[in-house]
Structure 1
Amino acid sequence: MPELPDVEGFRRVLAAHAVGRRIRTVDVLDAGVLRGVTGAGLRRALTGRRFRQPWRHGKYLVVPVAGSRAGAAVLLHFGMTGSLEWEVDAERQRFDRVVFGFAHGELRFRDMRKLHGLRYAPDRETVKRLLARLGPDAADLSAAGLSDRLAGRRGQVKPALMDQSTVAGLGNLLADEILWRARIDPHRPCPQLDDSDLRRLHTRMRTVLRQSVEAGRVPPRKTWLTGRRDDPTGSCPRCGTTLSHGRVGGRGTAWCSQCQPR
């Protein structure tokens, strides 16, 4: 499931291989991933153009299009199964949906489930409008900013962290990992978080994001909760207690009842 670290990895792929190169072809192999634009419209907008340096906001990758005074951009959201791949002389895969062709390779938007997809924004105002509902990017959020974003929330802390309008970029794996490291039960109501909890939560969030971005994903290391959560008999990497599993905010959740007491 792509979360902030994965999207940062996709940004690096695009920046390394496609920025500044002329887009020779735009092959829409499955228009089911397009949002607000047709295949023909996307081809007209991008063929012969060049991508500029991409940037990320939460789980969105924004790719400006060079030569557009209005600030046009392509926006990619990878849903639960999407990715961005650079391929040279490789057969196209079953789930390649949109392929941007360059002189020496192809940039492929690949997605099995097609839950979100690709948008074309013809100007800066459209980009702003499409991102307006998002909260601050989790990697840029200060301790005071996190406290402010959670202030007034009455629900449980895990769903609050995963609400993209509150904090952009955190998904299921990141939320569980951060809460485990901060020793905060995912069920705890936000009003019960004191200043010490919030400072610890922010510190652990920064650490998890930094290490995950370096790895290009949320790494399934055995010293991390994410490395043991899928094992029904998995134990806490910190204290050895068998992990608890359940649903919080409708999402499958793992936590340690010893390290994260209610």
Structure 2
Amino acid sequence: MPELPDVEGFREVLASCAQGERIKRVQVNDTGVLHGVSARRLKRDVEGRRFTEPERHGKWLLARTDGPTVLLHFGMTGELVCCRETDPPDPHDRVVFTVGHHHLRYRDQRKLRGIWLAEDADADVARVLDRQGPDAMAVGRAEFAELLSGRRSRIKSALTDQSVLAGLGNLLADEILWRARLHPGRRANDLTDDECRRLHTEMRRTLRSAVPTGCVPPRKSWLTGHRDDTDPVCPRCGGALHRERMGGRSTVWCPGCQPDGS
């Protein structure tokens, strides 16, 4: 599932492929990924515009133009690909923007989210993103602590709740909690000030390391690099990793490094 680093990578794809370019054509191959906008209206309002500098908020990509803003969410299997016009199409290319001599292709197998159009760069974008919390890359320590102090849910659930904090998914949450040595089942509002400070620090460090790769990297020194092993062990202490479903999500942690303090 694309998480914050993946979407930041898609932002860079858009910037390098299309920023400043005129949108010559919008081809909608599957209207099932359009939300609140028809294919005809998307073409009418976007064709002839120029892409300006794109932005990201959490898992959302804001493809700004000199008119409306195209908002893209990638669900579990989505991606944004820059191709030459002559490159063969992929069966999962749902919407294709022709810019210069390139195609910017919104590609998604499962179609769980999709594309929105915001006519007003401020009000309409805010409406689409209304239920999103602050971006995980930008949230400060004091705001982070305040967000968690009001949550009685497990800390893993709080971190992955996009209305609390935007951008973190399953892999990042497990990685950050492992680095912070916090059990994922702890209640968010039970964390001490020191634990909350440590969690924020490790979140920032993890994101800064992951963003340049455009993914949550499966490095051998990371929990992520071992969670799918047949007999996964902790890269820090060598103990066996534990897996359990929490809040409907497969959650992995090290009982030795992350003791249950509840």
Q: TM-score, normalised by structure 2?
A: 0.97
Report the RMSD for the aligned CA atoms in angstroms: 0.8
- Structure 2 counterpart of 1:253: 251
1:97 aligns with 2:94: yes
- Structure 1 counterpart of 2:107: 110
- Structure 1 counterpart of 2:187: 189
**Separation in 1, partners of 2:128, 2:237:** 44
Q: CA deviation at 1:31?
A: 0.8
After superposition, the C-alpha distances for 1:122-181 in whole angstroms (9 at most, x for unaligned) are: 112111111121110000011111101101211100000101011000000000000000
After superposition, the C-alpha distances for 1:198-250 in whole angstroms (9 at most, x for unaligned) are: 01100100000000101111001111001110113010000001110011111
- Structure 1 counterpart of 2:79: 83
**Separation in 2, partners of 1:212, 1:134:** 22
- Structure 2 counterpart of 1:135: 133
2:205 to 173, 192, 207: 207
1:14 aligns with 2:14: yes
**Separation in 2, partners of 1:42, 1:183:** 47
Q: Secondary structure at the match of 2:211?
A: helix
**Separation in 1, partners of 2:185, 2:65:** 43
**Separation in 1, partners of 2:201, 2:189:** 19
**Separation in 2, partners of 1:250, 1:114:** 20
2:171 to 162, 170, 173: 173
**Separation in 2, partners of 1:90, 1:117:** 23
Q: Secondary structure at the match of 1:110?
A: strand
- Structure 2 counterpart of 1:25: 25
Q: Secondary structure at the match of 1:232?
A: coil
Q: Secondary structure at the match of 1:258?
A: coil
Q: CA deviation at 1:5?
A: 0.3
After superposition, the C-alpha distances for 1:178-207 in whole angstroms (9 at most, x for unaligned) are: 000000000011132101100110010000
- Structure 2 counterpart of 1:62: 62
Q: Secondary structure at the match of 1:150?
A: helix
Percent of residue pairs identical: 55
Q: Secondary structure at the match of 1:198?
A: helix
Q: Secondary structure at the match of 2:203?
A: helix
**Separation in 2, partners of 1:190, 1:10:** 31
- Structure 1 counterpart of 2:157: 159
1:5 aligns with 2:1: no
Structure 1: gaps (5+ residues):
none
4+ long deviations beyond 6 Å: none
One-letter amino acid of the structure 1 residue matched with residue 234 of structure 2: C
**Separation in 1, partners of 2:106, 2:201:** 34
**Separation in 1, partners of 2:32, 2:246:** 31
After superposition, the C-alpha distances for 1:70-93 in whole angstroms (9 at most, x for unaligned) are: xx2000000110000000121010
Q: TM-score, normalised by structure 1?
A: 0.97
Residue correspondences, number: 258
One-letter amino acid of the structure 1 residue matched with residue 53 of structure 2: Q
